Structure 1
Amino acid sequence: MSDPPASIHEFDVSLICAYFAALERQGPGSPAVTVQALDFVDNLSAASRIADIGCGTGGQTMVLAAHTPARITGIDLFPDFIDRFNANSRTHGVHDRVTGRVGSMDDLPFAEAELDLIWSEGAIYNIGFARGINEWRRFLKPGGFLAVSEASWFTRERPEEIDRYWRAAYPEIDLVSTKVGQLEQAGYVPVAAFVLPEACWTDHFYAPQAAAQERFLRTHAGSEAAAELVAAQRHEAELYQKYKQFYGYAFYIGKKL
């Protein structure tokens, strides 16, 4: 039996960036789910400040901009993502209040109690859920909100294949109830937690990758690493179809005490 394709985390970051830069979203989600999560956040105005951490190319950020008058700063480690983010901001006509900046989520360029809302879709795993919600809390004003989506188990028991895959890819994956408890321990009032619909994976994340993968392979013809990266993404999609009843993404919204 051949070994399964490598995890996404085993590839060179420049190759990962080149692959995902062509996509509107770099993780599972949808405009409808972004709006659904935003509906739990109140008191946002033109004076409010939002940070979208791990913003990628800004697919979800442009949805936020369409549904709130606040000023938004997107933060991402990859300059190519931020270039596309700022181009998207201009295309959507919101560049006067929506700006992308290159930066690291473990060294954020904000003052204490500066932000009304911290947003992060499918990205907090890069620093770890527990660490992220604890360290980012100081940037929120009292009564400010945190809204993040995170890989989560839906059941206490699951098949060994998918359990092994996710524990290797992201050891902090855990039950929804555990994540809500971590929010409480970090000093947030849990406002909402809900599971992202299947379409966030199939229609908005994996389907757009199909055409992008062919272009990526042509651009990187002859690259074994590029072929392995595509194989890894296809393997991940196959695992989701096989085991989607056991895991997925959930949105967690908390309010700073």
Structure 2
Amino acid sequence: MNNDNNTILGFDVNLICEYFLSTERQGPGSPEVTLKALSFIDNLTDKSLIADLGCGTGGQTMVLAQHAPGSITGIDFFPGFIDRFNSNAEKLHLQDRVKGIVGSMDDLSFKEESLDLIWSEGAIYNIGFERGVNEWRKYLKTGGYIAVTESVWFTEERLAEIHDFWMSVYTEIDTIPNKVAQIQKAGYVPVATFILPENCWTKHYFAPQAKAEEIFLKKHVGNKTAEELVASNHHEAELYSKYKEYYGYAFFIAKKIK
């Protein structure tokens, strides 16, 4: 993603956000995976402060709130996502401790050493993994955790088509050991790392887009850019089906010890 000119893959950010507005998750993941990552995090209490950065409409945030104590602040730059986020919190009667606000993950307003947990599923790429884990660390208390998902290579070598695709969209994609090394270099102790299963992509990410696509195209009949965006998403799904043994998402959980 390139926020400097408000585009992703050449598409206007607002158009992309509108497309994903009706989906529960805006990236690969699942409730089961969110809970698995949460299982590695301890010492949360009713007084804990949690931030979900790049929260989208809050699919993963609501799962967190239903299974972890503390107050959660969701941050996303797209107002439509935050409106839906807060609406979802109200529907689940979580509004007393779950609140979404419009903001940017590269300009956070939290006090330093104020957070017990920083969460980010499918979003840290917006500013880059290495930058994110380094810059966000100052907001964590000693003993606080960071839990993020990130695109990774499963193999040291891969075919040119999928390699070239990822180099065109996110050059920071790397192997899991190299990502763990970046976490350690940033001053965390790695706690757990695991690969997201295939259904996080197929069942929970690609499949729900069918309904979103229908709504989106009805609203933008004859809009070539909208049609190109849908085609781009189809291409992404096709590439995953073809090359899923080479890449995917991994969850990284780490702890700040001093």
Shorter chain as denominator, the TM-score bin is over 0.9
In the alignment, the residues of structure 2 paired with residue 37 and residue 99 of structure 1 have an alpha-carbon distance, to the nearest angstrom, of 21
Structure 2 CA distance, aligned partners of 1:223 and 1:53?
32
| Aligned mates of 2:119, 2:9 — CA distance in 1 | 23
| Matches of 1:176 and 1:160, distance apart in 2 | 20
Q: How does 1:73-222 map to 2 (within 5 A)?
A: 73-222=73-222
- Name the counterpart of 1:50: 50
Instruction: Report Cα offsets for 1:71-111 as digits up to 9, x if no partner.
Output: 00000000000000000000011000000000000100100
Residue 151 of structure 1 contacts residue 248 of structure 1 at CA under 8 Å; is this kept in 2?
A: yes
Could you tell me how far 1:9 is from its partner in structure 2?
2.5
Partner Cα separation in structure 2 for residue 249 and residue 18 of structure 1: 24
170-179 vs 210-219, which moves further: 210-219
C-alpha displacement of 1:170: 0.3
Between the aligned partners of 2:214 and 2:120, the Cα distance in structure 1 is 29
Q: Scaled by the length of structure 2, what TM-score is found?
A: 0.96
Looking at structure 2, the residues matched to 107 and 10 of structure 1 have their Cα atoms a distance apart, in angstroms, of: 24
Q: Is the 8 A contact 1:8 1:233 kept in 2?
A: no
Deviations 1:21-77 (A, max 9, x none): 111000000000000000000000100000000000000000000001210000000
Percent identity reads 64
For 1:31 and 1:123, the matched residues in 2 are separated by 16
Residue in 2 that maps onto 1:251: 251
Residues 1:242 and 2:246 aligned together = no
Aligned match of 1:38:
38
Q: 1:163 is matched by which residue type in structure 2? A: H
Give the whole-Å Cα distance in 1 for the aligned partners of 2:214 and 2:47: 44
What SS does structure 1 have at the residue aligned with 2:9? helix
Distance 2:9 2:128 in 1: 14
Q: Is the 8 A contact 1:76 1:104 kept in 2?
A: yes
- Cα drift, residue 10 of structure 1: 1.2
In structure 1, C-alpha distance between the alignment counterparts of 2:82 and 2:9, rounded to whole Å: 21
Aligned to 1:225, the other structure's residue is in SS state helix
Runs of 4+ off more than 4 Å: none
Structure-2 separation of matches of 1:8 and 1:212 = 18
C-alpha separation in 1, matches of 2:211 and 2:244: 23
Contact 1:153–1:174 at 8 Å: present in 2 too?
yes
User: SS in structure 1 opposite 2:75?
Assistant: strand
Residue 8 of structure 1 and its aligned partner are, at CA, apart by 4.6
Distance 1:37 1:80 in 2: 27
Aligned residues: 251
What CA distance in whole angstroms lies between the structure 1 residues aligned with 2:161 and 2:121?
Answer: 26
1:52 partner SS = strand
Work out whether residues 153 and 247 of structure 1, in 8 Å CA contact, stay in contact via their aligned partners in 2.
yes
Partners of 1:9 and 1:214 in 2: how far apart? 21
Q: TM-score, normalised by structure 1?
A: 0.97
Residue 65 of structure 2 corresponds to 65
Q: 1:178-220: per-residue Cα shift (whole Å, max 9, x none)?
A: 0000000000000000000000000000000012212211111
Matches of 1:186 and 1:9, distance apart in 2: 29
SS in 2 for 1:94: coil
